[in-house]
Amino acid sequence: MSVLSGKNILLGVTAGIAAYKTAHLVRLFIKAGAQVKVVMTPASKDFVTPLTLSTLSQNPVYSTFFDKSDEENEEWNSHVELGLWADFMIVAPATANTLSKMANGVCDNLLLAVYLSAKCKVYFAPTMDLDMYKHPTTTANIEKLKNFGNVFIAPSSGFLASGLEGEGRMEEPENIVSLIENDIIKGLPLYDKSVLITAGPTYEAIDPVRFIGNHSSGKMGFELAKMAVNLGAQVYLITGPSNEKVSHSLIKRIDVISAEEMYNEAHKIYSSINIAILSAAVSDYKPKIVAENKIKKSTDTMNIELVKTKDILASLGEIKKDQFLVGFALETNNEIENATDKLKRKNLDLIVLNSLNDKGAGFKKETNKVTIIDKSEKISEFSLKSKAEVAEDIFNEILNRIYA
């Protein structure tokens, strides 16, 4: 999963030889999970066809203010709507001609009208020959665009269309996507922060076949991990047995089975963590003795002596320094009282209360209903929501306190 997943990206294509690279660029944006619309200057169609970019983006390609192909039903292509639709806009390739017009407010085609209407961050990746790129007017236009808040993606060096060698090649599509992703991450509230999240159940072995466990699916913890990444964090996701999936370069998944394993993994990395959210449903007890072989059914009853597992949350609370520590409480009675007591005993900054009395909340559900209590005993109640929305609420509460 990329930070571009679910984002609307507007790609402006101008008439440079590097326009052929935009087919690959569109494909990479789509692969990252983004929605892509393409706006072309009329002259850029000489270098790459609208049909190619329309097929790859799965959207119409725009190049004029209205479609003349159907004279009876001419459709207006609103530059304002396109500009408002985009979360990010990138002009690639950006020729010297288009750079000049962008820098000086010239608006003689649809792409420039969209650029002037865009409310989002704009990236531009120049392409031109070496002497054009080094010309003082080009340098001045690039500086002016940067001063406007646009993000400059510098061209690379190499063989140019003229046969010369030097700066002026539009950066490669893979690098453009990577540069945009990194720029977005740097602007997020948890950039350069590390977040530890525990998720799922733990299984405590009785023998090689049987175990003590619970019904946790891990979905809440996985949604928290996704939200942390969307906020720019490096995430360490320690999960018990779960069928949930997540894939992101900023998420390091650590699979464990028992409470002991989860305890050990959490303590290994806790000193380097900024925020820890322990949402796992950890077994409170485990068998005192684990049979080496499968226990045979020989009597009508069987007694298993249980001992307490290590309390991961309390142990982290004891050694807490600057970490922001969040715990979960699943209660069936005296919910607020029990959760507040747990908050204090375990030295937490926040506790997220789930009640099994709330319809639609609890294990193996797509939704959850939570109440969040902070260490000053301020109580915030939330309605029944999807677990993704609950994860957003939890992080909003964390950020409101970290950056208060």
CA distances from 346 to 213, 317, 394 (A): 23, 5, 19
Residues 199/242, Cβ–Cβ less than 8 Å: yes
Q: What is the largest CA-CA distance in the chain?
A: 92
Q: Report the DSSP beta bridge partners of residue 74.
A: none
Residues whose CB falls within 8 Å of the CB of residue 242, separated by 6 or more in sequence, listed in order:
199, 200, 201, 216, 217, 218, 222
CA nearest neighbour of 203 among 261, 243, 253, 244: 261
Residue pointed to by tokens 């609208």: 50
Q: How far apart are CA 124 and CA 149, in angstroms?
A: 11
In order, the DSSP letters of 210-230 are -EE-----SHHHHHHHHHHHH
Two tokens, residue 5: 């997943």
CA nearest neighbour of 403 among 223, 191, 250: 191
Two tokens, residue 305: 């002596």
Q: How far apart are CA 393 and CA 356, in angstroms?
A: 19
Catalytic residue positions, numbered: 214
